[in-house]
Structure 1
């Protein structure tokens, strides 16, 4: 079987329950459903025993009622330096990358494609560096890398995959959906998975071109749903600064080839210069932080190994590959940083019309409107009858 297009409350309920469960803590202000009570069982053999260097954790669950239906659940931000670091790696990088891993003199090609090819476009799809790096480490590292789990699922007949997550996990789950939809080369079998995505309270995962691509591959068809509270602040970040370089060409300032329009209105040019100056200053600061953070992350690569079954063709044989093999890949990511901070939401929006206010028990709880307990209240009230 395959998923049916369209928003389904039962599927959204399961996504919310799974997204809360992976935190290992009760929801507030009210309990969320227990995924086990909803008929889901965690598949330990396809789930890692620990997180990545950026403290990303994910799990694979299976439906008891529909044995061919699985769920990929990505944990959101937790209170650790590594997890918070992923949120703060702001720069956008190209969403379509062809990466190479050097394994003992053998070069392995990794088509890491999160958007369609836009050759010739002045603006191309871009994704959040921290979330993109989080997904890459999930795919390649830990004792049960996500690439290996996806490969095993793609070999099973008629596999359905519910993709979900909350907060940072929601943003990474969105990118994971793009990876599945654009899978090519050794990962092409991933496209056989019937995938449907429900994410909750995601930060903006990429720019407007990425959002358009995601709408084309998932949202518009009814297979990529973004559930967001109207009072939550996380779906409003990262801060968006749009400059002249973020506009498609030709436009009143630049011709298609990039040269300045000779008859540009000086008032428009002056306004554009102001915007460009502000955006450039913010980008320089974000890039400097990213470069320092990637350098520190490289040092941590020496402490991990890449599992051979996560690599295309089982590269490396039976011997685990040193994590330092990823160092050039991180350099490639930094080399594809875009001169842009023009973020946009992605996915077909399911708005939760929330009641304004803070935590009556804790006025310093700035995540009050972000808690999945509140999401569960509003989801039941507004969509429970569907």
Structure 2
């Protein structure tokens, strides 16, 4: 009978602290069924000791050398797993190892924000200064060295793309990143379909009905274009979350820039309510940059209740960037919560202004466009509101007004990821 002994230590990467009181389970990875080996608890110095023999893992294939991975629990919650970095064919009877963990903590973290912006820049094709040879130059956005891209989706029917990234230094930590607008007709149409549909319902897609819930409140409305964009990606996103959660993923950043920021926001909402994600105790933290407004105030309230109130969702905005100021917000007398004294003024004001007629004409024009997308059957779902708002804890970067000194026609000068990185560095200088 061969005996094995593993002496390990658990270290929190954020502060290099040895973590005590965590339950550690050792498992042997098998093709058909994983074998439980032993469990223990870390001591005051974050150390643990696990012992087992070959009878604990030998099966019908008569394994002689175990393939070991670990699960780490805080109380009953799984906070780390090494199933995606298995110790294959362990020969040494005495093995020493260190498990590095970083639990996603509430609050804005500059290093996290820079890492997510770097991923967004790579995904948007903007890692280099944008545009090049400007005076003064914009700094290139560095791609974080400890993050590795492990999956890129195909382009959807609306030319949306998302990527999955892995933190190579933190066990079980991943990032979902959504691409911003590209210069194709479907991508631009997604932006300009700026009417709202209910935040809970279904959309008749070509491949079948897409049922979704993005908020609890029946009054919540969301941007129809961004919702369609998410609908074309989300089943793939959830499949990958389930795949990697089964391999030990416990933490997911959700990020995006521009149109990608809107999709990332809606994605965070959907993950709150969907029953398709098999693991229920995953941790999500959202960093969104240059977010166009994704829904109305009731949707915003819901998003803040599920994510912002916990300090786990941040909306980073350049004060000189026009994209976060759209879609235009038009608040009508019926938009505020009832009861209120304003509703009594509605009839009188309608007689004094033609604003309501102009809004009706705008709504009719948008509905004409939607009729050209018959497979989505959206016309009867349109909400009579344009009361758009941003979502997430605001992180404001005070930009310097002005245009691109080399190209006055660059309408996105203040919107580039490189500008956001420059302002992040200036607003939060490293100390």
Task: Give the TM-score normalised by structure 1.
Answer: 0.78
Residue 72 of structure 1 aligns with which residue?
A: 176
1:279–1:340 CA contact under 8 A, matched in 2: no
Provide closer, same or farther for how the CA distance between residues 363 and 99 of structure 1 changes in structure 2, counting only shifts above 3 A. Answer: closer
Say which of 158, 164, 168 aligns to 2:259.
168
Q: Whole-Å Cα distance in 2 between the matches of residues 229 and 84 of structure 1?
A: 22
Equivalent residue number for residue 359 of structure 1: 404
C-alpha separation in 2, matches of 1:244 and 1:166:
33
Name the SS for the 1:363 alignment partner.
coil
The residue matched to 2:267 in structure 1 has which SS? helix
Q: CA deviation at 1:97?
A: 1.4
Query: How many residues were matched structurally?
Result: 322
Between 1:149-158 and 1:334-343, the stretch displaced more is 149-158
- What is the CA RMSD across the aligned residues, in angstroms? 2.3
Within a 5 Å distance, the mapping from 1:1-386 to structure 2 comes to 1=79, 2-25=103-126, 26-28=128-130, 29-35=138-144, 37=145, 39-44=146-151, 47-48=152-153, 50-98=154-202, 111-118=211-218, 124-140=219-235, 145-157=236-248, 159-184=250-275, 187-189=276-278, 191-252=280-341, 254=343, 261=344, 264=345, 267-268=348-349, 270=351, 274-292=354-372, 294-295=373-374, 327=375, 330-331=376-377, 333-385=378-430
CA gap of 1:56–1:27, structure 2 versus 1, over 3 A, is farther
Q: Once structures 1 and 2 are overlaid, which stretch shifts more, 335-344 or 189-198? A: 189-198
The answer to whether the Cα contact below 8 Å between 1:77 and 1:167 also exists between their aligned partners in 2 is yes
Q: Residues 308-330 of structure 1: CA distance to partner in whole angstroms, max 9, x if unpaired?
A: xxxxxxxxxxxxxxxxxxx4xx2
Following TM superposition, by how much is the alpha carbon of 1:155 offset from its aligned partner in structure 2, in angstroms? 2.7
The separation in 2 between residues aligned to 1:266 and 1:146, in whole angstroms, is 47
| Structure of greater Rg | 2
CA contact (8 A) 1:241 1:279 kept: no
Distance 2:393 2:262 in 1: 14
In terms of fraction of residues, the more helix-rich structure is: 1
* Paired residues of 1:230 and 1:354 also in contact (CA < 8 A): yes
**CA distance, structure 2, for counterparts of residue 194 and residue 20 of structure 1:** 24
* 1:21–1:34 CA contact under 8 A, matched in 2: yes
1:278–1:152 CA distance, 2 compared to 1 (3 A): same
User: In 1, distance between residues paired with 2:355 and 2:339?
Assistant: 18
Go from structure 1 to structure 2 and tell me whether the alpha carbon gap of 1:362 and 1:341 turns closer, same or farther (over 3 Å shift): same
Contact 2:335 2:385 in 1 (8 A): yes
Which ranges of structure 2 fall in alignment gaps of 5 or more residues? 1-78, 80-102, 131-137
SS at structure 2 position matched to 1:132: helix
TM-score with structure 2 setting the length: 0.70
What is residue 308 of structure 1 aligned with on the other side? none
Report the Cα distance in structure 1 between the residues aligned to 2:227 and 2:213, rounded to whole angstroms: 11
Check the 8 A contact 1:115/1:125 in 2, yes or no: yes
Once the two structures are TM-superposed, the CA of residue 17 in structure 1 deviates from its matched residue by 0.1
How many angstroms does 1:251 deviate by?
2.7
> How many Å separate the matches in 1 of 2:354 and 2:313?
37
In proportion to residue count, which structure has more strand?
2
Q: Distance in 2 between matches of 1:109 and 1:133?
A: 12
Gaps (5+ residues) in structure 1?
A: 119-123, 255-260, 296-326
How far off its partner does 1:181 sit? 1.3
